[in-house]
Amino acid sequence: MFTALSTGQINIYTAKEPVLHAALGGDGQAALIAQQIVSLRGALNDESAPVPTAGGSKYMSPVQLLYSAGVPSQAAAQQMASVFGGRSYTYKVTVDAEINGYHRFFIAVLGQKPNDKDIKVLNFYWRD
């Protein structure tokens, strides 16, 4: 999987199921694990859902999430976690602006390096 604007890791907390499936190998077992990751993420965000996490916290690290989703061992989950991160560093922002009847959408792709508070504009364009 390739994207020109990334740190090289996939955010396991926001990636769509087909992206997780491909990153996990693309086979039948990967499909099941990807489905389970999406399901567990939903439970983490649902205050009423019981989630099996350490210490009763509603947070799972990428390794915990992979292992809980069906990766066969903690060691395998740890190895796979190098592909996944827990944070996004590239964002798309769309602003819908109208001034004196003139309407335009402004779109920017913003990037941030890990451990850096500075956010850079990587791409900027507009459309009507």
Residue 120 shares a structural domain with residue 64 = no
Number of domains into which the chain is organized: 2
Q: Check if the beta carbon of residue 106 is closer than 8 Å to that of residue 97.
A: yes
**pTM over cut 0.85:** no
Q: Is residue 4 part of a domain?
A: no
Establish if 1 belongs to a structural domain.
Answer: no
Range of the domain at 23: 10-85
| Regions of the chain with pLDDT less than 70 | 1-3, 46-58
Residues whose CB is less than 8 angstroms from the CB of residue 107 and which lie 6 or more positions away in sequence, other chains included = 92, 93, 94, 95, 124, 125, 126, 127
CA-CA distance, 112 to 7, in Å (whole number)? 9
* The predicted structure's pLDDT at residue 116: 85
CA end-to-end span of the chain: 32
pLDDT value, residue 87? 84
Tell me if 2 is assigned to some domain.
no
DSSP string, 111-124: EE-TT---EEEEEE
Angstrom distance (rounded) from CA 63 to CA 69: 10
Does one domain contain both 17 and 76? yes
Q: What is the pLDDT of residue 115?
A: 84
